[in-house]
Structure 1
Amino acid sequence: MPKHPAKPSGSSPAAVHYRVEIADLHAHLFRITLTIAQPASLQRLALPVWIPGSYLVREFSKNLQSLRARQGSRALPASQVEQLDKCSWQVRCSPDRPLVLGYEVYANDNSVRTASLDARRGFFNGSSLCLQVEGHHQAPHGLEVVPAPAISGWSVATGLNPLKINKQGFGTYLAANYDELVDCPVEMGAFWSGSFTACGVPHRFVVAGATASFDGARLLADTRKICEAQIRFWHGSKKPPHKNYLFMLNAVDDGYGGLEHRNSTALICQRQDLPRLGSSKLPEGYTTLRGLISHEYFHTWNVKRLRPAEFGSYAYDRENYTQLLWFFEGFTSYYDDLILRRAGLIDDTAYLKLLNKTINQVMQTPGRLLQSAAQASFDAWVKYYRQDENTPNATVSYYTKGALIALCFDLTLRTESKSASPATLDEVMHQLWLRCRGGMMTEADFAAVLQEVGGRSYAPEIASWVHGKSELPLRDLLQRHGVAVLDEPSQLAQTLGLRVQEAAGVQIKTVLRGGAAERAGFAAGDEWLGVEPFAAGKRKTPAEGWRLTKLDDLMLYAGAQKKMLALVARDKRLLRLELSLPPAANTWRLVLRDAAQVVPWLSPAA
């Protein structure tokens, strides 16, 4: 902390003010100076343990160091700054003078969830840097981002309201309260920046890490179509709830993900997936990137405003449970790719390919028969966000299963509707927004709107699809809407009940429940070295052995034999496991059968 702490710049009305500086780029350290204008005599402070939208306790306080306090020119002794638990502190001070705290935060997580700082780029979420001041949660909060010679070529981008900033964006921003402060991440660096207007709303897109081949104009044009389609989806010709919006994309060699915020989103993608100048062929991963953009933008309504009643007031010091992630993440996952189709960015065939992938992901997850979508939502804190080799056997993704639940409701409503204007899930979403006034929602609200739009109770479907573990009626519903469902042999790994990695030999990552590999005794972590097919007519006598370097070679060596010994290395021991090849498992392939029949579903509403 400086001997004489700098005063907040500008005439900030904030009762709580954070000054963020670069302490050391190469040590990945931010320096924060927190000023509380009117502290309590026993002032408590805490750093969040999680960030809304990412349901895992991440213990951000592990990166906080060197906390000290001052009033005026007097440094408070260490005995007056007491740590209470893993993430909270208490300071004994005079309540009639501003309290100033200084500390550093280590920032070396190049993700969308925490904070990162190096010589190329800075990024942070307020939940990683900004201590919450007890008693001042609803007071205005100021955030001052300070320039420095070491970052003279950098700029700042954030969704916060600017109070007094320079052309590069450095200066003071104002949040209405702590929730808004930590819901507006900050991007810093020499990033690419572009802008567009969608339905009268200004949007900005900044990209860090792009190469010289990056086609920013193409990205802006496609994102604009996504944004306009979604604004019209929710509001028709009316204005959306956000006055501006910011996309922050970090392009890296290997990475993918996003995190939604009230008027911004932080994204990460592989830079090879960005559109390229002078190339008419788009990278295969660009559709995935556009789907991510669509997903996070849809969250502007579905989870940031319309959200579970349990999230009415976030508790930042512990898990916040809800059984509704199948709706807020799953239904968003249904609409993200559907919006791409309706915006004209992909055709029917490309959309069905994306839907096909989701269906097969769920069908190839044994955990779908063990856990409901509602329970998977509740267990996100300990299962979905703490995945291991048994995850596919123990749980189902509320993203993918929720997307298929949305599909089933949508197609069921369309099937049962007798009017010229069919009932749709689109209308359910509209009416939910109006019923809940873009705020807190319960499952009962969803059930009530379904009944209102569909003309009957959908309690049996909710009980079966959301709270049950039975298979969804996907085949019948798709066929009723012009999509043929073909059964095809699955890949060998799925037939055996395995998920493997083949970078250096065949490494067993997951053994799926009830499969041939599990019956043979395979275990996650095994290295499958070779195979010894039994000689014809001699069940227990191997014919000859073969080295296995990729899984597909198994059928080359097995020939017509269905039984063999698998040579496996486990804990430096060599094991011979008796493996029986099962009949080929089936996977689905969706084929457009009647283009006219899918128009009401896949085309934008009139």
Structure 2
Amino acid sequence: MKNILAVLFMLIIAGQLQAQKDTVRFTVDTKLAAAHTIGITMSVPVNNKAIVDLKLPVWSPGYYQVMNYGKSIQDFSVKDQGGKVLTWQQIGNDTWRIAAKGTKSLTVVYTVKTERAFVATSYIDKERAFIKPTASFLHVDGALQLPAVIDIPLQNGWTRIATGLDSTGKTTYRARDFDILYDCPILIGDLQELPAFKVKGKPHRFIGYKMGSFDGAALMKDIEKIVITASNLIGDIPYEHYTFIATGPGAGGIEQLNSTAIGFSGEGLNNPAGRNRMLSFITHEYFHHYNIKRIRPIELGPFDYSKANRTNSLWVGEGLTVYYEDLILNRAGLMNKREVLDAWQGTIQGFENNAGRLKQTLAQSSANTWEDGPFGKKGETISFYEKGPIVGLLLDIEIRSASANKKSLDDVMRYLYNTYYKNAGRGFTEAEVKAACEQMAGQKLDELFDYIYTLNKIDYQKYLSKAGLSINFSEEKNQKGELFTKVVLSENVNMTALQKNILGSMLQ
């Protein structure tokens, strides 16, 4: 027994030493903040390869646009383990090819010139640095599985770091592979932190830059309700800690596995309309850690960072997340029934007043977002953020009606999460989503799924009536004298017992 334990101990030590040997290490230098420049030093094990290609992603998961991050890399240089300068050549915008014959490791030094403060790009100035790993950290081509350690010395008088990465020291973080590293943005500065809370023992933090003046404790109580409601919906919390990273005033938000980076100004929280918008935004990005990060189209992972990753199913990842924003806030007691109906009404009105609905299908809007942009081109295309939640609403009602309110879209989401993410360790196919919905409904749903793949006119009343809702369309003129379609969504006065049960179980 002693011999067996000794062998096991030696194997563990050997594995740890090999992991350390294969680790890619980065040191971040922020001293050039005034020049909007981030310095990076990278230590790379190469094990005597003759040629080593270092690559930078051209896009960032969660923001479906080719960004060409490589154009921001400057002052590139590389040496071997003995300090000898090595020859290299840049290939295209995103690849640096190094002549590394006889070299065990490389030390690569470069800078990232930043221009735009946005959640999909790195940015630094005198007050803070936001590091988007996909825009900043090179990887060895074909070796995304290597672990990475990132050291971020606090400079410029800055006091705090916010990230979803696991900490291994005061300013040192570790990622088990580059998919995790690329999923974890980093905010550095003299940051504020709101009172943290725990749900099922998992800590949740909110840390940000220039967050404004508002009741932080009250906001965190609302976010705690959101987290509890969303996690109860799925029935699992798959992370060990979660961080809301507020990047400062501005637009945009991108989801990660255990964090989200959001443009945030607390000033809007001081009026009801602004508070509802911000809570919806936070709910959307939080629920994404389930829906699209884990419940995901099969095309979105493992990622190919070198090109656009197209899928027809962003109507699930993005559209259904929009749909669940309102449901989660309602169930959490933060949005009343009429407010939800108004939100649905507004979404339908926006879609019906877009001529793009006659030109582009929902599936096409997903696949073509790389060219059309996340919200489409009004009049020419549609947005999966708009038609997606409409299809989600009608699917939810039809599943509830067909199953005598025993099943719902919630069951579909739980099924996709457990079957494909937890058990199969992969994303879902388009056919599998349809099959899951039909399984819960106990019937075919061809007409509803035709709304995804065709330009068929939506029969709103057919489905909304099953939840005791009526929809009315009328032609009116706006302040410019232009005609538009006005939509009014209302509850029927006389409902059947099933209609009451369906609407009552959907909205409180």
For the pair 1:362 / 2:357, whether they are aligned, the reply is: no
Letter in 2 for 1:245: Y
Post-superposition offset of 1:131:
0.6
Post-superposition offset of 1:473:
2.2
Question: Which one scores higher on RCO, CA 8 angstroms, separation ≥ 6?
Answer: 2
List aligned pairs for 1:462-501, cutoff 5 A.
462=449, 464-492=450-478, 496=482
Which whole-Å CA distance do the structure 2 matches of 1:186 and 1:158 have between them?
5
For the pair 1:600 / 2:505, whether they are aligned, the reply is: yes
Other structure's SS at 2:75 match? strand
Post-superposition offset of 1:340:
0.5
Native 8 Å contact 1:12 1:142 kept in 2: no
Which whole-Å CA distance do the structure 1 matches of 2:227 and 2:375 have between them?
32
Match of 1:209 in 2: 210
Native 8 Å contact 1:494 1:585 kept in 2: no
Native 8 Å contact 2:158 2:188 kept in 1: no
Query: Which string of whole-angstrom CA distances, capped at 9 and with x for unpartnered residues, describes residues 412-460 of structure 1?
Result: 1122223xx5221111111122221343100111122122111112233
Which whole-Å CA distance do the structure 1 matches of 2:460 and 2:414 have between them?
24
> Which moves more between the two structures, 472-481 or 263-272?
472-481
For the pair 1:459 / 2:446, whether they are aligned, the reply is: yes
Native 8 Å contact 2:211 2:246 kept in 1: no
Post-superposition offset of 1:208:
1.5
- Flag the 1:106–1:376 CA change in 2: closer, same or farther, 3 A: same
Structure 2 unaligned spans of 5+: 1-18
Which whole-Å CA distance do the structure 2 matches of 1:56 and 1:133 have between them?
23
For the pair 1:179 / 2:179, whether they are aligned, the reply is: yes
Match of 1:197 in 2: 198
Native 8 Å contact 1:16 1:35 kept in 2: yes
Letter in 2 for 1:274: L
Which whole-Å CA distance do the structure 2 matches of 1:335 and 1:363 have between them?
21
List aligned pairs for 1:563-602, cutoff 5 A.
584-593=483-492, 598-602=503-507
For the pair 1:373 / 2:359, whether they are aligned, the reply is: no
Match of 1:30 in 2: 38
Post-superposition offset of 1:358:
0.9
Which whole-Å CA distance do the structure 2 matches of 1:141 and 1:159 have between them?
14
Q: 1:159 aligns with which of 156, 164, 174?
A: 164
Q: How many residues align?
A: 479
Post-superposition offset of 1:135:
3.9
Which whole-Å CA distance do the structure 2 matches of 1:143 and 1:431 have between them?
37
Other structure's SS at 1:291 match? helix
Query: Which string of whole-angstrom CA distances, capped at 9 and with x for unpartnered residues, describes residues 492-514 of structure 1?
Result: 26863xxxxxxxxxxxxxxxxxx
Q: 2:341 aligns with which of 327, 352, 366?
A: 352
Which whole-Å CA distance do the structure 2 matches of 1:494 and 1:417 have between them?
46
Higher fraction of helix: 2
Match of 2:58 in 1: 49
Letter in 1 for 2:118: S
Which whole-Å CA distance do the structure 1 matches of 2:311 and 2:184 have between them?
23
Match of 1:428 in 2: 412
Match of 2:427 in 1: 440
Match of 1:233 in 2: 233
Q: 1:399 aligns with which of 346, 360, 385?
A: 385
Native 8 Å contact 2:24 2:42 kept in 1: yes
Q: 2:73 aligns with which of 64, 67, 75?
A: 64
Native 8 Å contact 2:122 2:130 kept in 1: yes
Post-superposition offset of 1:96:
4.1
List aligned pairs for 1:320-335, cutoff 5 A.
320-335=309-324
Residue identity (%)? 29
Which whole-Å CA distance do the structure 2 matches of 1:130 and 1:408 have between them?
43
Native 8 Å contact 1:324 1:374 kept in 2: yes
Native 8 Å contact 2:211 2:265 kept in 1: no
Native 8 Å contact 1:12 1:163 kept in 2: no
Match of 1:336 in 2: 325
For the pair 1:123 / 2:97, whether they are aligned, the reply is: no
Match of 1:515 in 2: none
Letter in 1 for 2:299: E
Native 8 Å contact 1:70 1:99 kept in 2: yes
- Flag the 1:298–1:75 CA change in 2: closer, same or farther, 3 A: same
Native 8 Å contact 1:295 1:336 kept in 2: yes
Native 8 Å contact 1:16 1:136 kept in 2: no
TM-score w.r.t. the length of structure 2 is 0.90
Which whole-Å CA distance do the structure 2 matches of 1:21 and 1:36 have between them?
18
Native 8 Å contact 1:258 1:296 kept in 2: yes
TM-score w.r.t. the length of structure 1 is 0.76
Query: Which string of whole-angstrom CA distances, capped at 9 and with x for unpartnered residues, describes residues 312-360 of structure 1?
Result: 3211111111111111111111101211111110111111111111111
Native 8 Å contact 1:14 1:174 kept in 2: no
- Flag the 1:181–1:95 CA change in 2: closer, same or farther, 3 A: farther
Letter in 1 for 2:275: Y
Post-superposition offset of 1:12:
5.9
Match of 1:511 in 2: none
Structure 1 unaligned spans of 5+: 1-10, 166-170, 276-281, 497-583
Query: Which string of whole-angstrom CA distances, capped at 9 and with x for unpartnered residues, describes residues 198-232 of structure 1?
Result: 23321111121122x32111110111101100100
Native 8 Å contact 1:324 1:443 kept in 2: yes
Letter in 2 for 1:22: T
Which whole-Å CA distance do the structure 1 matches of 2:22 and 2:215 have between them?
40
Native 8 Å contact 2:460 2:471 kept in 1: no
- Flag the 1:392–1:129 CA change in 2: closer, same or farther, 3 A: same
Match of 2:268 in 1: 273
- Flag the 1:186–1:454 CA change in 2: closer, same or farther, 3 A: same
Other structure's SS at 1:68 match? strand
Higher fraction of strand: 1
- Flag the 1:324–1:265 CA change in 2: closer, same or farther, 3 A: same
Which whole-Å CA distance do the structure 1 matches of 2:421 and 2:183 have between them?
21
Native 8 Å contact 1:15 1:37 kept in 2: yes
Which whole-Å CA distance do the structure 1 matches of 2:293 and 2:354 have between them?
29
